[in-house]
């Protein structure tokens, strides 16, 4: 038992953090939101050079064959720096869902892919910059073409309707589909068909990556808020010295500290029957923690936090979008409950009143 990142993993996180800290990531995100994708694509290549895009690709296909925990480490940093682009889609979902398909090699090398996986992922993120666009149709991956664009509450998430190029749905947007990946709650690793179980696994890894992104967003919101309340003075002293402010921020610290081990733990059980339960538990907890960080961060900043000009807004809006991305909290709570009610009955634990 050793529940702590290795030096190699913390080193990987530090390398990504260093690159992003010197890349003016907020400016990149703002440009991306304004359809100036050049800086974002340049950053994409730099991050690909660090190996993020190849993490889940098998070594035989030119990938790193890394562990899910490495994905968690990388995606926390992407969240912390509000890096734009279809990262979950391109670096996590597609390499797993496409399996041995030769297109995976291009993604591992830094190519851009995106996917629409209804009903939980109704739009393909940043499909206009992607070289590979897919739609998941009852567990089957199909090529797709891009249609109407929608604005997200997070301006850096550019949403596109897509339609399958190889299906008979006659050009209808696939946003209303009812396939798994994930339509029905599954209890993890028990899907019937091979293709379905592959896309289900890809979906759960994507949920895990999005959870890590949320964790990074929450950590950044907290760090920026702590920095702000230490220097902002009112009534003659730093507002961070008031208990009303302290207690809000302490609650954020506590919520994030207890979301993190659920994400790390889910990375370790990704190939066990508990996969769906653990991934969903992580997403539920981190969505709540990051959302608390966003609300609290805005509140302790006051009006300056409500401006588009101030960078805090990048994370406030991103958190709201990610809370519902790759499965809403209601969906994930439903999956946890489904998993808990099918497991073998535990031994009775009568009468444990406490002690103090």
Partner 1 sequence: MNLDFSEAELAFQTEARVWLKANVPSEPLPSMDTAAGFRAHQDWEARLTEARYSVVSWPEEYHGRGASLIEWVIFEEEYYRAGAPGRVSQNGIFLLAPIIFEHGTREQQDRYLPTMASGEKIWAQAWSEPEAGSDLASIRSTATRDDERGGWVLNGQKTWSSRATFAHWGFGLFRSDPSAERHNGLTYFLFPLDSAGITVRPIAQLDGEAGFAEIFFEDVFVPDADVLGAPGDGWRVAMSTAGNERGLSLRSPGRFCAAADRLVELWKERGADHPESGDGVVDAWVKAQAYRLYTWGTVTRLADGGEMGAAGSINKVFWSELDISLHETALDLLGPESEVESTWTDGYLFSLAGPIYAGTNEIQRNIVAERILGLPREPKVVQR
- Contact pick of 285, 293, 312, 319 for partner 1 (by CB under 8 A): 285
Q: Counting contacts by CB under 8 A, is residue 279 touching partner 1?
A: no
- Contact pick of 65, 261, 273, 302 for partner 1 (by CB under 8 A): 261
**Min dist. Cβ of residue 356 to partner 1 (A):** 5
Q: Counting contacts by CB under 8 A, is residue 333 touching partner 1?
A: yes
**Min dist. Cβ of residue 15 to partner 1 (A):** 18
Length of the chain as a residue count:
356
For residue 329, the SS3 value is helix
Q: Which of residues 192 and 348 has its CB atom nearest to partner 1 in the complex?
A: 348
- How deeply is 183 buried, as exposed, middle or buried, from its count of CB atoms within 10 A (0-12, 13-18, 19+)? middle
Q: 45-74 mask for partner 1 (x: CB under 8 A)? A: ------------------------x-----
- Contact pick of 205, 229, 270, 292 for partner 1 (by CB under 8 A): 229
**Segment contacting partner 1 by CB under 8 A, of 18-26, 95-103, 143-151, 342-350:** 342-350
Regarding beta strands 132-137 and 158-164, do their DSSP bridges make them parallel or antiparallel, or are they unpaired? Answer: unpaired
Cβ proximity of 160 and 115 under 8 Å:
no
Q: Counting contacts by CB under 8 A, is residue 226 touching partner 1?
A: yes
**Min dist. Cβ of residue 68 to partner 1 (A):** 10
**Min dist. Cβ of residue 115 to partner 1 (A):** 28
Regarding beta strands 132-137 and 113-116, do their DSSP bridges make them parallel or antiparallel, or are they unpaired? Answer: parallel
**Segment contacting partner 1 by CB under 8 A, of 23-31, 119-127, 158-166, 241-249:** 241-249
Q: Counting contacts by CB under 8 A, is residue 324 touching partner 1?
A: no
Q: Which of residues 34 and 250 has its CB atom nearest to partner 1 in the complex?
A: 250
Tokens encoding 324: 């519902």
Size of site (CB under 8 A) for partner 1: 56
- Give the orientation angle of helix 38-49 with respect to helix 25-33, to 10 degrees: 130
Find tokens 């925990």 and name the residue.
69
DSSP 144: E
**Min dist. Cβ of residue 94 to partner 1 (A):** 25
Cis peptide before 200 (omega within 30 of 0): no
Q: How far apart are CA 226 and CA 314, in angstroms?
A: 17
Q: Counting contacts by CB under 8 A, is residue 97 touching partner 1?
A: no
Nearest to 167 by CA among 123, 120, 116: 116
Cβ proximity of 156 and 32 under 8 Å:
yes
Q: Counting contacts by CB under 8 A, is residue 284 touching partner 1?
A: yes
**Segment contacting partner 1 by CB under 8 A, of 13-21, 140-148, 156-164, 234-242:** 234-242
Q: Counting contacts by CB under 8 A, is residue 10 touching partner 1?
A: no
As a whole number of Å, the end-to-end CA separation of the chain is: 29
For residue 182, the SS3 value is coil
Q: Going by C-beta distance under 8 Å and a sequence separation of 6 or more, which residues neighbour residue 270?
A: 68, 201, 204, 205, 208, 279
Cβ proximity of 75 and 209 under 8 Å:
yes
Tokens encoding 218: 């929450």
Q: Counting contacts by CB under 8 A, is residue 352 touching partner 1?
A: yes
Q: Which of residues 168 and 235 has its CB atom nearest to partner 1 in the complex?
A: 235
Nearest to 146 by CA among 131, 238, 202, 154: 131
**Min dist. Cβ of residue 300 to partner 1 (A):** 11
Q: 121-160 mask for partner 1 (x: CB under 8 A)? A: ----------------------------------------
Question: Where along the sequence are the contacts to partner 1 (CB under 8 A)?
Answer: 1-6, 9, 69, 222, 226, 229-230, 237-238, 240-243, 245-247, 249-251, 253-254, 257-259, 261-262, 264-265, 267-268, 281, 284-285, 333-334, 336-337, 340-341, 345-356
């Amino acid at each position: 038992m050793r529940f702590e990142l290795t030096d190699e993993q913390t080193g990987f996180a530090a390398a990504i953090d260093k690159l992003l800290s010197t890349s003016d990531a907020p400016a990149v995100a703002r440009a991306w939101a304004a359809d100036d994708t050049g800086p974002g694509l340049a950053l994409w290549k730099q991050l690909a050079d660090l190996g993020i895009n190849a993490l889940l690709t098998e070594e035989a296909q030119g990938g790193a064959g890394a562990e899910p925990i490495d994905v968690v480490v990388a995606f926390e940093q992407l969240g912390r720096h509000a890096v734009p682009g279809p990262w979950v889609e391109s670096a996590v979902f597609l390499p797993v869902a496409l399996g041995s398909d030769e297109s995976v090699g291009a993604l591992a090398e830094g190519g851009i892919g995106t996917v629409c996986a209804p009903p939980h992922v109704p739009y393909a993120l940043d499909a206009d910059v992607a070289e590979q666009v897919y739609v998941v149709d009852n567990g089957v991956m199909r090529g797709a073409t891009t249609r109407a664009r929608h604005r997200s509450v997070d301006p850096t998430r550019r949403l596109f309707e897509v339609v399958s190029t190889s299906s008979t749905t006659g050009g209808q947007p696939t946003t209303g589909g009812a396939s798994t990946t994930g339509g029905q709650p599954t209890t993890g690793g028990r899907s019937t068909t091979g293709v379905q179980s592959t896309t289900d696994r890809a979906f759960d890894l994507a949920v895990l990556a999005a959870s890590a992104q949320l964790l990074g967003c929450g950590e950044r919101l907290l760090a920026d808020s702590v920095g702000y309340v230490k220097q902002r003075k009112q009534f003659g002293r730093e507002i961070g010295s008031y208990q009303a402010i302290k207690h809000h921020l302490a609650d954020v610290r506590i919520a994030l500290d207890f979301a993190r081990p659920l994400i790390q733990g889910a990375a370790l059980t990704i190939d066990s029957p508990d996969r769906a339960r653990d991934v969903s538990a992580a997403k539920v907890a981190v969505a709540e923690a990051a959302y608390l960080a966003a609300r609290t961060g805005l509140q302790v900043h006051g009006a300056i936090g409500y401006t588009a000009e101030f960078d805090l807004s990048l994370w406030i809006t991103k958190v709201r979008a990610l809370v519902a991305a790759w499965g809403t909290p209601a969906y994930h709570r439903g999956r946890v409950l489904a998993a808990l009610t099918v497991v073998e009955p535990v031994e009775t634990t009568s009468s444990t009143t406490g002690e103090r």
